[in-house]
Structure 1
Amino acid sequence: MSDSEPRMIEILRILSAHDKPIGSKLIAVELREKGFNLGERAVRYHMQVLDEKGYTERKGYSGRVITELGRDKLEKGLVYDQVDFVYSKFEEMIYLTDFNYMTQKGNVVVNTSTIYDESSINILKKIIESGLSVSPYINLNEDKSEGKIEVTTLCGTTIDGILLNEGISSQPQYGGLLKIEDYKPIRFEELISYKKTSLTPLDAFSSPNRTSVLDVIETGDGIIPANFRLIPGVGRKRTLDIINKLDHIGIGGVIGISDEGRDILGIPVPEGMVGIAIVGGITPFRAVQENGEDIDIKIAEEIRNFNTLSPITTKITYHLKPVEHDIQPKISFLLSKSWNLIQQVNFDIEKRKGDIVANVSYLKRDDLDETLNIMESLYNDNPKYINPYYKVLDHPSDDDKVGIATICSLSIDGILINNGVICNPKYGGLLELTEPPLFIELISYNGSTVDPHKIFIAKDMTRITREAGSKKILASFKEIPYISRDYAVDLLDTLDKIGLSIYKISKPRELTYNAKADNYNFGIVAGSGLNSIAAVREKGIDIHVKAIEKLMPFEKMDRL
């Protein structure tokens, strides 16, 4: 892709944010605000290219609009750019928040979701009355002709914006799942960093059965979505005062605030900083989803004037108890856990013997024959993209179940390192098999507690067994120092011949299927051992997906 591609993507973003045609003058102004120094003439050139590609359409002298093809391009976009855009979007929202809590006037950040059953409003109200929301202030916009209701709620990012207006820098760090026991917040169970992901963290955890908000309300035990940010320690006292004042006007959701440099809810807090946990703004909507209702959840979508919102209830009884600063085990991030397995890989390429890293997933023993048939058929149809190795294992405690081990792509990192080549796993991604293939989602291994491929499977984002249209498969992106390229390529070619699914080896500074390696490195794209497992799940077989589970001798594995 050319150097002008990021500018074109940004132009598409600007057009998508307007509901009427706009011209090059306005686009140039908005581009400058986003750090792109393009004059009107340059903008017109880029717009002409976008017209030719079918991404935009001229509307007389009024300007241009984005087409459906353009929206599709924007959605897939430059994923390497998108992983930075998610964080920058939140920074933009924080900056645009100008709400004055003294006058209760100004702009706030909102989430707008769509429900399709009026009874869902009662669930929303129930959760808000429990205090498991940022605010009771909402807006309901009913469209009776289409049988839907748009519900706008306050996003927790508003609090970051309010703090910034008071001169306190609040830095979003993680979105995740927080464990509650007896109404007491205990520890974050899962986390994803706001940086280096194309999915917002709470969206990544929005798949079914990940939260249990209703259980928290009814029994005091469960899992809720929550966010975590850091502020400078010197701002702690003032922040507490602001949060107290916000609480009195109906803006809250703060779960806990750490002491300076003290860990909280299992998250390490650096010296000189303070950690703040806030309930996820989508928490009431997750309760609706848990109840089996249809809902379209959107996160931190836009800026709205606070006066467009009104309280759905004035009766709020906080269910959660204060956070106790007892010592919780620090959360272990995926890459830290993975490196210890990677380090133990001792596969000998010449002898084709030795330990590799395996995923192990579990299913009913009665479904085993059908599962193996699906896996074999998948490999026969897609030998380039599917790793053929597997091993059937006994379940550790249930005779009615069996495990299926497949080769984890982190084995490749271990094999290269064992042969003197530095290889760093960078992203787990969802790869669409267009021509050329393109990553349409990426989540960094660094800063996540859960394997990205498990997230894509849980959200039903794969299309591996699809017969019509482009397939969407699981792949990982790794980077290797350029100085070792020749030797690394020889090793990778051999691994590909063995069947470890090496899809692409890039050149320096080359976008590799829409992903980008750091300077002085080159990228490789490898297939995931979970592709065959995801395919089994697509066929309706109940299989519990697990990743990066154990070491296993390669020579003891079977081949499809």
Structure 2
Amino acid sequence: MNLNDNQLFLILNAIQESKVPIGSGRLLEKLKKNGFNISLSTMGRILEEIDDDGYIKKDGYKGRVITKLGEEKLSELQFIKETNIVQTELMELINKTGKVGMLNYLHARKAIESEAIRLAVETITDEEIESLASILAKELRTLRDQNLDATNDKIIQSQGELDYKFHHAIIKASNNPYFDTFYRLLEASGKMQEMYFFIVGQSIEDHIIIFESIKERNGKEAILSLRNHLDNVISKCESYWKNRELVEKYLKDKLSLIV
């Protein structure tokens, strides 16, 4: 049986919470309270697989206990679980607040990325610069493809993903894991990137300027070009919401006249 992250989390967590080695039957009783409905024989096979992974081990005939590797895996799964909750809450917040949520999201990105690019210019490697160049090349190709087929949703989605990869590559080059974590939370697994890319469109010209300043390791120019880029994005978002509100008001007024 292939376990998903949540199922593995429930099993490891139940074993860790037990003060004594726990047997298959007792473990299954605890798991059933969380909707884990399987047979005892299946439970036994699952535990053997987790044994093989090194996350748990038998303590004689008493039952199983969690290993050091298992505790590390449990911590990792706990982090993923909490991250998913935060991402869900973030998306709900943005969906509720609309324009305000989108603009707050962009201002948060501007604060994080401004400091990240300053650090990135100081520490970026030649390999990381080549990676950025590769992303830019792909952006140019998808822009060309969009010019040939402007209605292709897959091309537009690909542009949004590449935009995310470009900014994320700069974040990672800063070598600050906290920036990386915060950025991924803000992006909410790329969903926010797709949303704002739909509004803003491609920014390849800005990306080229940012890339050149990083390549030349010009910290001041890199920060300035990034801030200008995100200011452009914020301006486009503000225009989008303003026009959207005007259109909605116009349609509402027209509808009231018809009624």
| TM-score bin, normalised by smaller chain | 0.3 to 0.5
- More relative contact order, 1 or 2 (CA 8 Å, 6+ apart): 2
With the length of structure 2 as denominator, give the TM-score of the two structures.
Answer: 0.45
Q: TM-score, normalised by structure 1?
A: 0.23
The answer to which structure has the higher strand fraction is 1
